Amino acid sequence: MDRFGPRRIGLIGVPLYCGAVALLSLTTSDILTWWALWIVVALTNMLVMPMVWTTAINGYFDRNRGKALAIALTGTGIAAAVIPKLTYTLVELLGWRMAFAGVSAIVLVIVYPLVIFMFYGPRDTAMAPALDPGATSTPELKGMPVQEAFRSARFLKLAGGAVIFAVAAAALTFNAVPLVIAQGLSAATAASVAGLVGIGSIIGRLGGGYLLDRFNAGRVAGFGVLIPLIVIAILLAFKGSVPAAAAACFVLGLSVGLEVDGCAYLAARHFGIKSFGTMFGAINGLILFGSGIAPIIANAIFDVTHSYDLFLWLSIPAFLVASVLWLSLGQYPKFAEGTSADEAGAALAQRTPA
């Protein structure tokens, strides 16, 4: 993305990812086929991850960057609410194989035209005429060189806090249903209650975006990662209570909704947008790694202790460490070289209808 711009990645990534999901309809009874198809899905998924869309947003928005990121990333919460119902309907009508193909086709038809006609990043060639009608190259954007950024204490703090928070929060999120069942609720009730995580994430993103634009993002994110402590307290104190479980899932969503937005915002502020794709890609990769091992850790503890309580207690210091790391990021650095996001976005706005 730093080299070719997010537009080219999106143009390639959207059809490849939709095609990879559609290929799941070809799975056989051989487990190796299932694994192989999911590897293809995982690889193509990297081409449509949040870093693709946030790279463009960070290039165009500065003063209201937090709100812009929040609005864009609420799409994940909306999809989480819509796609399961859509998939269930297609399975009932067409069978599970065609459901994979059907969902992929619907998403491709909706998303791809938007990418073709409306999606441009700060490095895309369409940006050069906006800055200078006679320009023949893309603008030089402000930011820290990649090598310098990776060696900085800021990167270690931001990435470290992100992966620690991801392990603790992802275990709570992915295990929301079994965790609530372990509290004494039925499976049907647990599934309904866990859906509040998605609603909470949308509200958390919008509220977090508002706060990120008005206060130091390190402080907002640093205090935001402490919200799951409320979740842990509720789950430990009110076992078997449906209202308490519902409140815990909703509050968990508030915090989870702030995580990716906060990391994207902090990466852009502390490292600039010159190499944002590389920097946030590395951080997002660590988040994915933490999210991947989190359920394994939590469920291994459950298998041994027959309870999630020990994991809940162990999560408390994890959230505290993540908070300390993000709170210690300090003030945003100033970048002197290149073209700023404000200048680029303002120039493009003069030539593009609102």
For the chain, list the domains and their CATH numbers: 6-140+338-351 (no CATH), 146-327 (1.20.1250.20)
pTM above threshold 0.85? no
Distance (Å, whole) CA 196 – CA 80: 11
Average pLDDT over residues 251-259: 79
Percentage of the residues of the chain whose pLDDT score is greater than 90: 21
Distance (Å, whole) CA 212 – CA 53: 18
With contact defined as beta carbons under 8 Å apart, do 339 and 135 qualify?
no
pLDDT score of 325: 92
Token digits of residue 90: 């297609």
The region of weakest confidence among 113-117, 281-285, 310-314 is 281-285
pLDDT score of 34: 92
User: Is the confidence at residue 66, as pLDDT, over 50?
Assistant: yes
The percent helix, strand, coil of the chain (3-state, each to 5) is: 75, 0, 20
User: Is the confidence at residue 206, as pLDDT, over 90?
Assistant: no
pLDDT score of 341: 41
pLDDT score of 347: 44
pLDDT bracket for residue 335 (50, 70, 90): low
